[in-house]
Structure 1
């Protein structure tokens, strides 16, 4: 049974084509910062029409998800096809919904305190311990209060 579960999990990962490439002039729709110089932190949103929006970190991706029309008029959350973040250790894109996020660490992103995405719970626990993190969160736990806290340096 374990082998079957591992096979299914790997098949799902292989089936995920990942986000579209980031163009050299791509700018974060939340803060306007160019995304390319911050490649290790890139988060991406793929729209149902195949286009993509890229962010300079997971924190700005979550801010965008809370109010897409505020940052890209005419865009709605219902039109999102996929969300990806770049996991910290391997720098590979993973599904944002599957990531483990560490907050309150000594590792800062391009916009300061950041949600640091990790691929596994073990990676998140190791990162938390090694970088003085405060909490580990899952996708549904990241809300407006968490984002405001990160901006204010409160965890």
Structure 2
């Protein structure tokens, strides 16, 4: 019994208790929010955005594009602390300003890699709640449909090769 109590005390000492009660619901991306990767003001740019909740942090990290989000996510140190990740469902969100809502869990979304629509830093990953929606998007915009776990650093590197004609900076 004494050992059990000591264990409970140790857990509480690590800040476990309040952590569990935190909401991991997506939050709106607001006008002043800056990208965790590049520091740009997120709402000034088109295309799907993302956000990630990490351990020991109340508010999510926010990203100006799904591309920046994945570059960050695929770093080993990020993967170790991530608790929840959200991206825009571009079926419902307008490409030019998706910022406020339509955020869905990134792990269950489908992504179009290499389509012709640009995000904040050029080529990006168009994100959709349903595979069918992603496939319909490719009919108009090109690209390849991929699942969350397929998007790795080589895929993101290949996106860099696709620098489009118009580049925001």
> TM-score, normalization: structure 2?
0.70
Q: CA RMSD in A?
A: 2.1
Partner of 2:33: 26
Distance 1:153 1:90 in 2: 26
Partner of 2:134: 124
After TM superposition, the structure 1 = structure 2 runs for residues 88-103 of structure 1, keeping only pairs within 5 Å, are: 88-91=90-93, 92-103=102-113
Gaps of 5+ in 1: 1-15, 70-75
Gaps of 5+ in 2: 1-22, 94-101, 164-169
Partner of 1:102, secondary structure, is strand
Deviation at 1:67, TM superposition (A): 2.5
Structure 1 range deviating more: 143-152 or 33-42: 33-42
Aligned CA distance change for structure 1 residues 52 and 39 (closer, same or farther; 3 Å): farther
Deviation at 1:119, TM superposition (A): 1.1
Deviation at 1:40, TM superposition (A): 4.9
Residues 71-106 of structure 1, C-alpha deviations (whole Å, 9 max, x = no match)? xxxxx4333221000011212101100111011211
Deviation at 1:109, TM superposition (A): 0.9
Please tell me whether residue 51 in structure 1 is matched to residue 45 in structure 2.
no
After TM superposition, the structure 1 = structure 2 runs for residues 75-154 of structure 1, keeping only pairs within 5 Å, are: 76-91=78-93, 92-133=102-143, 135-153=144-162
Partner of 2:154, secondary structure, is helix
Deviation at 1:148, TM superposition (A): 0.7
Q: Is this contact kept in 1: 2:42–2:63, CA < 8 A?
A: yes
Aligned CA distance change for structure 1 residues 109 and 87 (closer, same or farther; 3 Å): same
Aligned CA distance change for structure 1 residues 144 and 17 (closer, same or farther; 3 Å): closer
Deviation at 1:17, TM superposition (A): 6.3
Structure with bigger helix share is 1
Q: Is this contact kept in 2: 1:18–1:93, CA < 8 A?
A: no
- When Rg is computed on C-alpha atoms for both structures, the one with the higher figure is 2
